[in-house]
Amino acid sequence: MTPTSASPSLDAAPSDDTARWTPRLAGVLIALIWPTQMLAAAGILGANATSSVAQSFHTTHVAWFGLTFVLVTTLLTPFVMKLGDRYGKKRLMLVITGLGTVGDIIAATAGSFELMLVGRAIAGCYGPFGALSFPAVRHIFPARLVKPASAILGSSVGLVGIGAPFLAGWLVDGWGYKGVMWFITAATALSFVLIAFLVPQIPPRDRRPGFDWLGGLVLGGGLTAVVYALGQGQSWGWTDAKTLGWLAAGLVALAVFVLVERSTAHPILDFTVLRRRPVALVLTAGGLAQAIAYTMPSLVILLALYPHIPGVSAGLGWTAQHNAAVGVTWNLVMFGTGIAASRLMRRIDARHLWWAGLILMGVGYGLAGFFHADETELILTSCLANLGSGLVVAGAPVLVVGVVSKEEQGLGSGILNMLISLFGAVFTALAFAVLATHSTVENGTAFYQDAGYDWIFWTGALLTAVPLVLSLFVPRLRDPAETDAAPAA
């Protein structure tokens, strides 16, 4: 039985003027949105559960609760994006969501912190799901619907920002970290069911013999070492031998990977694709821009929840529920903008919306550096920034679609996801380094002053200039309605 015989493929769906949204296609998109954005929801839920985990297990190493998941995800991403092309994306989706469910169950029932970390490590196998879901859209949907479907898949993160903070407060207040872990378990299991019944089979795209296991280990290991060093740098000290050692080891591994892959018969990364200027520009700009768009809201939460102590701490001192209520405003803006962009991108050059999004995001966070003293100021500046963020997260996958072929989509989306993680770690480390220079330590706890928050917003604004400048050199994008619509031989 061939991989396509289990369920009919939508690759053969109409790709010309007859292509339109159907209940079946809507169901497929929902089945891809749920597991993709569950990763963002799990991040918010996990962050809110961290304190409960630390108190329940009486550990001072609670940072590993989140770091373990991130490190395993980073290590496995190169393998997932290649194995998806080799064995079929649906099959691999089921494998990694199944492993994620098993890991979540272990974490939810763990009687020790060490066993909890084992569960989190296994659950990290689910982390690279985005490296499969965005390419799946390219292969499943009619060519004329690829851009709007990709934009909706990316911008649906705004829905997570609306509901997850309220859900986190309810679960943590009522059941502690176990409530969070069991919810994540159920949500991951639902992902498995949705994929199994709604996502069609996608035939393997790479049938060449041999697999570059060594290259995957060197690449994933190098990226993991760099992310680990950046994640621990604040607690170890940026000049500490451990920080510098892990960072150096990661950079050396990445350098070795580049040299070795050039002579590998079947490299895990096709450098002939990555050397094309449009691809390199889009992936670098898209990775950095989305890292800023995803990381800045977590830093806004830091400002909101830290106490307000004159002369010591310039936080706003909000409760988690109040922060969630206020945050609904800018998350609605982000989601609504993304949905509008998904429609506009069928008629407007996606680069124009992308440029507008970066400008709005930069201006919004630049103004937030000056105005963040109360709800009104933070709502106005964050809504402006998220008006841009909505265009950015909706536009990034569309830009990738416009510079890679259908066969290269898995590689492009996989690299984009790796860069988002890497740039996100770099930006987070930079943010806390900035905050540390404007902090006051009381009873062993660092409290941040207003100048630190000012520079966090200004740093985010300034960094948006980098992807903006890079993307100005991206040539006109190819339309999948023209490049993918040719019927298969």
pLDDT digits (tens, 9 = 90+) for 71-93: 888 888 888 888 888 888 999 99
Distance (Å) of CA 416 to CA 149, 284, 289, 470: 18, 8, 11, 15
Of the chain, the end-to-end C-alpha distance in Å amounts to 21
**pLDDT(354) > 70:** yes
**pLDDT(6) > 60:** no
Same fold, 24-210 and 270-478: yes
Domains of the chain by residue range: 24-210, 212-267, 270-478
H-helix or E-strand spanning residue 256? helix 241-261
The amino acid at residue 224 is T
Name the average pLDDT for the chain: 84
At residue 485, the pLDDT reads: 55
At residue 249, the pLDDT reads: 92
At residue 471, the pLDDT reads: 93
At residue 158, the pLDDT reads: 77
169 vs 16 pLDDT, higher one:
169
At residue 60, the pLDDT reads: 66
Query: What's the rounded mean pLDDT across residues 188-201?
Result: 94
Question: Are the beta carbons of 362 and 354 closer than 8 angstroms?
Answer: no
235 vs 22 pLDDT, higher one:
22
CATH superfamily to which 270-478 belongs: MFS general substrate transporter like domains (1.20.1250.20)
Query: What's the rounded mean pLDDT across residues 341-360?
Result: 89
At residue 15, the pLDDT reads: 41
Q: How does DSSP classify residue 13?
A: S
Q: Which of 355, 344, 353, 397 is nearest to 151 (CA)?
A: 397
**pLDDT(194) > 50:** yes
Residue 259 confidence class, pLDDT cut points 50, 70, 90: confident
**pLDDT(174) > 70:** yes
Residues 6+ apart with CB under 8 A from 115: 106
**pLDDT(13) > 60:** no
At residue 483, the pLDDT reads: 67
For residue 94, give both structure tokens.
């089921």
Query: What's the rounded mean pLDDT across residues 205-219?
Result: 75
- Class of 24-210 per CATH? mainly alpha
Query: What's the rounded mean pLDDT across residues 228-249?
Result: 85
**pLDDT(12) > 80:** no
Residue 444 confidence class, pLDDT cut points 50, 70, 90: low
Express as a percent the part of the chain with pLDDT over 70: 92
209 CB-side CA count, 13 A: 0
Query: What's the rounded mean pLDDT across residues 135-157?
Result: 87
Express as a percent the part of the chain with pLDDT over 90: 33
CA distance linking residue 356 with residue 89, whole number of Å: 33
Paired strand residues for 446? 441
User: What is the total residue count of the chain?
Assistant: 489
At residue 209, the pLDDT reads: 65
Using DSSP's 3-state secondary structure scheme, residue 156 falls into: coil
At residue 389, the pLDDT reads: 93
Read off φ and ψ for residue 238, nearest 5 degrees: -70, -20
Residue 1 confidence class, pLDDT cut points 50, 70, 90: very low
At residue 323, the pLDDT reads: 82
Query: What's the rounded mean pLDDT across residues 95-117?
Result: 94
At residue 171, the pLDDT reads: 86
